[in-house]
Amino acid sequence: MATVIALLVLCLPVVTLGYIGFCYASPWGTCRRCSTARKRRTCRACDGTGMRPRIGWQLYVYLRRLHRDGTR
Ligand SMILES: [Zn+2]
């Protein structure tokens, strides 16, 4: 059991760093609401573009803005 926990703890930063790199490489993902429904109607989630910023990217933009506003 301890080995499993140790493995999970080891994997967590790797997965996090991988996700950060993934978000940095392609910050825009496809809109799930549009891709499944395939409706041409204007989507409220993405404004009909079919592209949405990833949650990690949104977090990065939010933190960057917070840092910029805080250090001004
Ligand atoms: Zn959409």
What is the rounded distance in angstroms from the CA atom of residue 32 to the CA atom of residue 40? 14
Ligand 1 centroid to Cα of residue 43, in Å, is 4
Separation of 33 CA from ligand 1 center, angstroms?
A: 5
Residue 12 lies in a domain: no
Give the domain extent around 53: 19-70
Ligand 1: centre distance to CA 31 (Å): 5
DSSP 49: S
How far apart, in whole angstroms, are the C-alpha atoms of residue 72 and residue 58? 21
Is 24 inside any structural domain?
yes
- Which residue in 31, 55, 53, 61 sits closest to 43, CA to CA? 31
- 1: in domain: no
φ, ψ (nearest 5 deg) of residue 23: -65, -35
CA of 52 to the centre of ligand 1 (A): 7
Asked if residue 32 belongs to a domain, the reply is yes
> How many domains does the chain fold into?
1
In a domain, 7, yes or no: no
pLDDT tens digit sequence for 3-51? 999 999 999 999 999 988 888 888 888 888 786 655 556 888 888 888 8
Which pLDDT score is estimated for 64? 95
pLDDT at 36: 66
User: Considering the domain boundaries, does residue 47 fall inside one?
Assistant: yes
